[in-house]
Structure 1
Amino acid sequence: MKRLMLVLCVGMLVACSKEEPPPEPVRPVLSIKVQALDEESLGRFAGSIQARYESNIGFRVPGRIASRNVDVGAEVEKGALLATLDPTDQQNQLRSAQGDLARVQAQLINAQANARRQQELFDRGVGAQAQLDIAQTDLKTTQASLDQAKAAVDQAKDQLDYVELRADHKAIVTAWNAEAGQVVTAGQQVVTLAQPDIKEAVIDLPDTLVDQLPADVVFQVAAQLDPRITTTAIVREIEPQAQSATRTRRARLSLTDTPPGFRLGTAISVTLSSAIKPRIELPVSVLQEVDGKSRIWVVDPQTQTVSPRDVSLISRTDSTVVLTNSVKSGERVVSAGVNSLKPGQKVKIDEDSPQ
């Protein structure tokens, strides 16, 4: 009986040993979808939208500003009155010039009469040639003085007109550098006018970066308050010398198009990028080092299983790695927990994984 019991126990043990092992548990993992990069970011800089053409204008005569007719931000048409000077001095100069003109006109009448009288006496043989020459010379001199007096009156009228500062083109007032009551000199900058038709992006770039910019550099321009408003731009000009205080050089960029949201003074964010040969850049956490080789774990979307794949590195930093074409754009790789995976193991993609 004891022998029979022993045989039964041995049989049961053998039967148990032939049962299949339990299946591997499904492992939740974090993953990332591979995307090839074809642009390299060179930096992000703040700037503003400005007019390409600006005019700093002032009065053509000196004087005290009597009135300022428009404010900053106002849109003005060609010929619009911007400011005026106190016209007292110019009015006095005009009256003085007009008085001189009247005096010379009276002198001309006398000179003409004297020249006619001397000519008549000379024709009758009772006048001297010398007296006739003197009378004719006085007439020519007075005529020249009359022309000079007329020119002085015209100049005084122009000076009086110059007390009014007017816009010479349609523009937007962007700055005032003088206020009512202030005494200004001729040509002193008083107001800045910007032509709103052509706008451009203006940024300050580090001097060291400017020298490294590739010829095909691309600028992505976006409004800071609404990043959905975007366009592209190319370099129009860069200052040849860096500012001593900041070691930056001002760059002016021609916009590909001008969205309505890009008003003068709009704050913008400008991203510099350059086209590069397509490459794969992934977080360094995707790598697993085995026997001196680097590999990643690729997720099969059909079977939800993982398989290892050896890869070659182009470069590596503390946070990212750049791979060769050993992985394709669109494939999904495990981005965390690679050291605990086995070939063919089923995985569950975490809902928070990047798509």
Structure 2
Amino acid sequence: MRPSSRPNTTRREGLQTQSPRSNPPVPAPAVSADRARPEPETIAERSPVRWGLWFATLALLIGAASAGWWYWTGSARAPAGDQARSGAAPPQGRAAAAGRIPVDVAQVTVSDVPIFYESLGTVQAFNNVTIRSRVDGEVMEIAFEEGQTVQEGALLARVDPRPYKAALDQALARKAQNEATLAATRLDLERTQKLASQSFASQQQLDQQTATLGSQTAQLASDQAAIDNARTQLDYATIRAPISGRTGLRLVDRGNIVRAGDATGIVEIAQLQPISVLFTAPEGQLPAIAAAKRGGDVRVQALAPDGRTILGEGVLALINNTVDPASGTVRLKATFPNAEDRLWPGLSVNTRLLVQTLRAAVNIPEAALLRGQNELFVYVVGADDKAEKRLLKVGAFSEGRVVIEDGLRAGEKVVVAGQSRLLPGSQIQTGPSGPGREDERAAGLAATPGSAP
């Protein structure tokens, strides 16, 4: 063998020897017979034992986890199994123990069903007026409060009237002057007529005098027109409400100069009683709405955004004369008395327009109706409290009710809650329908012997 740079030592019968090139031999410590075997053989012999321990530990862990899962799931089913073996009813009641499925039912009724068309609308003032000055001048007086309800003809503001009063006086004086001149001209004409009859005045003089009288008479008419105009301007200096309504924010304060051409105005007045609501309807609903309008007043309700609170009831006042081709809708306008001021300009509301009322219509709660892939059906309580699937032909939907055209008779009972657990022929336990049915069912279950608390 090739000599090694490391000392060549050999383990033999517990003694250690060294090559002649190394240091003198040193006696090795005594070891037992078991440890006299080479180290690689010791590792090879112990490895299978360690792997066996690992496999045993893993098997114990898996077994413990399985036992725990079985314990917890089995304990949840234990009460039901015990009750089934003992014959007692489970917490869902005796009907569940007998294979019955608890459901809520409602009776098929015959009643008048109103048909409404619903839409979104916006409240608009019946009349809205911006009060502007029609003359120039200084605002001498503001006679209203912001938000005040004013009546037609009430004083709102006053512009300095002195220039317009002076113009009226001037026009009156000019008319008086011209009236005096006209009287003198009339006397001159009478004299000229007498002289002309005696040939002491020429016909030309008579014609001139007559023309002068006509000119001065026309001047008096012009003076009267000037007077009327001056009086009108003076009246414009006093600004009054043209309609009854509620004032808004004051736009001009006292002491400011206003002019007839100002676009801002002094204040806005909105007429709230009555008030209007603008809304739209699809063009497909137009024939029915027009037919209802021809039959008389069409009732319209305005509801709050929650869809439940009724803010007012009015009548349809207008069907617009054109359909918007872009949206395919027609604009409608309804008028409301609004005696309690619950409707306000700019308010968004839900509208319900009563198109017709179906008399003596067979109807059921909408909650009972189920939709298949190509069918509408309900579960009917049949003989021996068995669920029966019944295909339907339905009509209009209105206020949570469905009009039934074919498939049900008055007096039958339909399932309105719990249908998801039913199949045709399922045994059912019927319960009450309507508000509070869950509380009533809970009370009934609590009174059932053997039920869980």
Structure with bigger helix share is 2
* 1:280-307 CA distance string (max 9 Å, x none): 3544786899xx997725299xxxx832
Which structure has the larger Rg? 2
Letter in 2 for 1:313: L
Return the structure number with greater relative CO, CA threshold 8 A, min gap 6.
1
Partner in structure 2 of residue 142 of structure 1? 216
Partner in structure 2 of residue 29 of structure 1? 102
Letter in 1 for 2:334: L
Match of 2:174 among 95, 100, 107: 100
Partner in structure 2 of residue 154 of structure 1? 228
Structure 1 residues 73, 330: closer, same or farther in 2, change over 3 A? Answer: farther
Structure 2 portions without partners, runs of 5+:
1-85, 293-297, 396-400, 442-453
1:183 aligns with 2:234: no
Structure 1 residues 354, 62: closer, same or farther in 2, change over 3 A? Answer: farther
Letter in 1 for 2:301: Q
1:1-355 pair list within 5 angstroms: 25-27=94-96, 29-34=102-107, 38-48=113-123, 50-51=125-126, 54=127, 56=129, 61-64=134-137, 66=139, 67-71=141-145, 73-87=147-161, 90-91=164-165, 93-105=167-179, 107-108=181-182, 111=185, 114-115=188-189, 130-167=204-241, 171-173=244-246, 179=252, 181-185=257-261, 199=274, 201-208=276-283, 210-211=285-286, 213-214=288-289, 215-216=291-292, 219-222=300-303, 229=310, 232-241=313-322, 249-254=330-335, 258=337, 260-263=339-342, 265=344, 267=347, 268-272=349-353, 274=355, 275-276=357-358, 277-280=361-364, 282-283=366-367, 296=379, 298=381, 306-314=385-393, 324-326=406-408, 328=410, 331=413, 333=415, 335-336=417-418, 337-339=420-422, 344=427, 346=429, 351-352=437-438
Shift of 1:250: 3.7
Contact residue 32 and residue 332 of structure 1 kept, 8 A: yes
Q: Matches of 1:250 and 1:126 in 2, distance apart? A: 83
Structure 1 portions without partners, runs of 5+:
1-20
* 1:14-36 CA distance string (max 9 Å, x none): xxxxxxx9588422634242465
The alignment's TM-score, normalised by the length of structure 1, stands at 0.63
Shift of 1:221: 3.5
Partner in structure 1 of residue 65 of structure 2? none
* 1:111-134 CA distance string (max 9 Å, x none): 356556656776887655544543
Q: Matches of 2:153 and 2:403 in 1, distance apart? A: 62
Structure 1 residues 62, 288: closer, same or farther in 2, change over 3 A? Answer: closer
Contact residue 43 and residue 273 of structure 1 kept, 8 A: no
Shift of 1:311: 0.8
Contact residue 33 and residue 354 of structure 1 kept, 8 A: no
Shift of 1:237: 0.8
Partner in structure 2 of residue 7 of structure 1? none
Structure with bigger strand share is 1
Q: CA RMSD in A?
A: 5.2
Q: Matches of 1:124 and 1:293 in 2, distance apart? A: 115
The alignment's TM-score, normalised by the length of structure 2, stands at 0.52
Q: Percent identity?
A: 18
Shift of 1:205: 1.0
Contact residue 222 and residue 231 of structure 1 kept, 8 A: yes
Shift of 1:46: 3.9
